Amino acid sequence: MQPSVEPSMLDVFNDNFDRAAQYLDAPEDLLESIRICHHMYSIQFPVRIKNKVRIFHAFRAEHSHHRLPTKGGIRYAPNVHLDEVAALAALMTLKCAIVDVPFGGAKGGIALDPRDYEADELERITRRYATELVRKNFIGPGVDVPAPDLGTGEREMAWIADTYNMLTPNSVDALACVTGKPITQGGIRGRREATGRGVQYVLQEFFRHPDLVKRAGLSGDLAGKRVVVQGLGNVGSHFARLIQDDGAVIVGIGERDGTITAPRGLCLGAVLAHRHETGSIRDYPGATTLERPADCLELDCDILVPAALENQITAHNASRIRAPLIVEAANSPTTSEADAILRQAGKIIIPDIFANAGGVTVSYFEWVKNLSHMRFGRMAKRVGIQTHQRMITGIEDLTGSVFPQTLRDDIVHGIDE
């Protein structure tokens, strides 16, 4: 029987937690203290928008303080509420543990649709939210460190860092109060694409395990695999670009305004240019446009990557999912009932708390960089350049050949952030 109401994200987290707990030999009281969200902050504040005072509802949840600071994004979406950020904060605790970064989990949000506001209005709302977080000690380099999530990005993180800085004038570590900042404001190279790149790495790793590939009913490597992506935002667009470089073929894309599909493949760059020009992915030349964003989930493909919203694969559509491999780039895109249906059908699901952990991993390096007040590699850079230079000269002397200039520059320069 199909449920009439979709479960909340917190229901889904609790179901999954209970399922995982069965594999542990841990007392129930301990499990309960791991499950619950420890600190929750719910705020309502007024901001003047177009000469009218509007009340905004905003939240921050710190799931676990077993490691500090707590860490997790801030989302701007119309229906954000306290239970939702509590569930997302719990996922952050598990995610940080899986990739072993020293944080407890947190998440926050403001209930608004960013498309309804001008940039200066969003700035005032964001700065007021950040001020409220400072007032209640829900932000700080050693307390709770937000980052981008759905509907937010580098710009919002820069506003938050600046607000924090203004309110704590003697704090030398102020920049470490938030990650995902622009490079010029203390950000780190690679954070922008980190979550999508992490999803790419997860898939590359999956295809290094022939037993898993076989269990999914697939063969070979990523090249030629047919991929469908839902959501062309920060996570989805970088993932799609990177996976195309691995030879995968994007056969479908779902966005807010519908789905496009082309069995022979879509060129991501051209789709983004089309969206930029027309404001929509619909009617992309050479592709079929389907009405609903969720139509993309049911397309025939090898790998399905939901990278937009929660609760997309539900008890209602799970039986129509054709992809044998599902990679959860979004947080909580699959309800627990859907998860059971998919597993029953023999599908492999790579869960969000592993698949999208690339973002918080790179955030960790940004935080460390801000606390150390030094760019990665700065101290050893010159020594590295001299060592590589000597190595190249030695090889050229021994072989009598000369390195091509571009290769020489590449080797001499070495890695950066």
Ligand X SMILES: O=C(O)CCC(=O)C(=O)O
Using CB under 6 A as the criterion, what x/- string covers residues 340-359 for binding ligand X?
----------------x--x
Is 381 marked within a binding site?
A: no
Is 195 marked within a binding site?
A: yes
Q: Is 107 a catalytic residue?
A: yes
In angstroms, rounded to a whole number, what is the distance separating the alpha carbons of residues 228 and 6?
24
Is 52 marked within a binding site?
A: no
Active-site position among 50, 52, 107, 136: 107
Q: Select the binding partner of residue 295 from ligand NDP, ligand X, none (C-beta < 5 to 8 A, by kind).
A: none
Per rule CB under 6 A, count of chain residues that contact ligand X: 14
* Residue 162 and residue 168 in contact, taking contact as beta carbons nearer than 8 Å: no
DSSP 366-406: HHHHHHHTS-TTTTTHHHHHHHHHHHHHHHHHHHS----HH
How do strand 325-327 and strand 348-350 relate by DSSP bridges? Answer: parallel
Burial class (CB in 10 A: 0-12, 13-18, 19+), 246: middle
Residue 187 touching ligand X (CB under 6 A): no
- CB nearer to ligand NDP: pick between 192 and 213: 192
Within residues 73-92, the interface with ligand NDP by CB under 6 A covers 73
How do strand 226-230 and strand 303-306 relate by DSSP bridges? Answer: parallel
Residue 252 touching ligand NDP (CB under 6 A): no
- CB nearer to ligand NDP: pick between 122 and 329: 329
* Residue 248 and residue 227 in contact, taking contact as beta carbons nearer than 8 Å: yes
Is 170 marked within a binding site?
A: no
What is the three-class DSSP state of 402? coil
Amino acid at site 355: A
Residue 339 touching ligand NDP (CB under 6 A): no
* Residue 270 and residue 253 in contact, taking contact as beta carbons nearer than 8 Å: no
Residue 114 touching ligand X (CB under 6 A): no
- Which residue in 288, 245, 289 sits closest to 268, CA to CA? 245
- CB nearer to ligand X: pick between 259 and 363: 363
- CB nearer to ligand NDP: pick between 149 and 337: 149
Per rule CB under 6 A, count of chain residues that contact ligand NDP: 25
Rounded to a whole number of angstroms, the CA Rg of the chain reads 23
Within residues 148-207, the interface with ligand NDP by CB under 6 A covers 148-151, 195
**Selected binder of ligand X within 179, 234, 237, 259 (CB under 6 A):** 179
**Selected binder of ligand NDP within 93, 126, 179, 230 (CB under 6 A):** 230
Residue 363 touching ligand X (CB under 6 A): yes
Using CB under 6 A as the criterion, what x/- string covers residues 21-60 for binding ligand NDP?
----------------------------------------
> Cα separations (Å) of 257 from 157, 213, 236, 253, 290?
27, 33, 15, 11, 9
Amino acid at site 272: L
* Residue 330 and residue 309 in contact, taking contact as beta carbons nearer than 8 Å: yes
- Shortest reach from residue 382's CB to ligand NDP, in Å: 33
- Which residue in 64, 138, 150 sits closest to 356, CA to CA? 150
Residues 27-30: contacts with CB under 8 Å, at least 24 apart: none
Catalytic site positions: 107
Binding site for ligand NDP (CB under 6 A): 73, 148-151, 195, 230-236, 254-256, 293, 307-309, 329-331, 356, 359
| Site residues (vs ligand X, CB under 6 A) | 71-73, 92, 95, 147, 149, 179-180, 331, 356, 359-360, 363
Q: Which parts are annotated binding residues?
A: 71, 95, 195, 234, 363
